[in-house]
Amino acid sequence: MKHRLIFTVFFLSFSFNVIGNDTEIIDSLHMALNNSKGNERVNLLNRLSTLYRSYEIDKVGHLSKVAIDVAHEEGFNEGEAIAHENLAWYFSKKDIGDSAVISYLKALDYYEVTNKLDETASIYNSLGISLMNSGRYSESLDYLVKSLVLRQELGDKSKIGGSYLNMGIVMEYLHEPEQALEYYLKAHEFIKIGDNKHNLSSVLMNIGVVNFTLGKYRLSNKYYSEALVIQLQNDDQYGLMKIYRNLGNLSMRIKDLSAAIVYYNMSLDIAVELNDINSISGTYIKLGDLYGNKMAMNEKGLEYLEKGLVLAKSIGNKWCENEAYHSMAESYSANEEFEKAYILEKRYANLNDSLVRANAKLQIEKSKAVLEIQKDRLKTNTKRIAEANVSKKTSYKRMCIVVYVSAFLVLLFLGLYLKGRRHL
1-114 matches 236-336 in fold: yes
Indicate the pLDDT class of residue 410, thresholds 50, 70 and 90.
Answer: low
Amino acid residing at 169: I
Tens digit of each residue's pLDDT (9 = 90 or more) over 78-136:
999 999 999 999 999 888 878 999 999 999 999 999 999 999 999 999 999 999 988 88
CA distances (Å), origin 116, targets 78, 110, 111, 300: 11, 10, 7, 58
pLDDT of residue 171: 92
Tens digit of each residue's pLDDT (9 = 90 or more) over 162-194:
999 999 999 998 889 999 999 999 999 999 887
Residue 116 φ/ψ, nearest 5 degrees? -85, 75
Nearest CA among 103, 19, 73 for reference residue 30: 19
Average pLDDT of the residues in 387-402: 58
What distance in Å separates the CA atoms of residue 221 and residue 317, rounded to the nearest whole number?
A: 29
What distance in Å separates the CA atoms of residue 3 and residue 410, rounded to the nearest whole number?
A: 78
HSE-CB at 352 with a 13 A cutoff on CA atoms is 11
CATH of the structural domain 1-114, one choice from 1.25.40.10, 3.40.190.10, 3.60.20.10, 1.10.3720.10: 1.25.40.10
Contact 82, 60 (CB under 8 A): no
Q: What percent of the chain has pLDDT over 90?
A: 50
Question: 236-336: which CATH topology?
Answer: 1.25.40
More confident residue, 23 or 42: 42
What sign does the dihedral 404-405-411-412 (CA atoms) show? positive
What distance in Å separates the CA atoms of residue 209 and residue 246, rounded to the nearest whole number?
A: 8
3-state class (DSSP) for residue 225:
helix
Residue 15 is classified by DSSP as I
Length of the chain: 424
What distance in Å separates the CA atoms of residue 32 and residue 348, rounded to the nearest whole number?
A: 57
> pTM of the entire structure?
0.72
Average pLDDT of the residues in 29-53: 89
Query: Which residues, 6+ apart, have CB-to-CB distance to 150 below 8 Å?
Result: 117, 118, 120, 121, 124
For the chain, the structural domain boundaries read 1-114, 236-336
The string of DSSP codes covering 155-220 is: T-HHHHHHHHHHHHHHHHHTT-HHHHHHHHHHHHHHHTTSS-HHHHHHHHHHHHHHHHHTT-HHHH
Torsion from C-alpha of 216, 222, 227, 233, nearest 10 degrees: 170
Indicate the pLDDT class of residue 149, thresholds 50, 70 and 90.
Answer: very high
Q: Which of 191-205, 305-319, 324-338, 409-423 is the least confident region?
A: 409-423
What distance in Å separates the CA atoms of residue 245 and residue 242, rounded to the nearest whole number?
A: 5
Nearest CA among 216, 219, 214, 208 for reference residue 245: 208
Q: What percent of the chain has pLDDT over 70?
A: 78
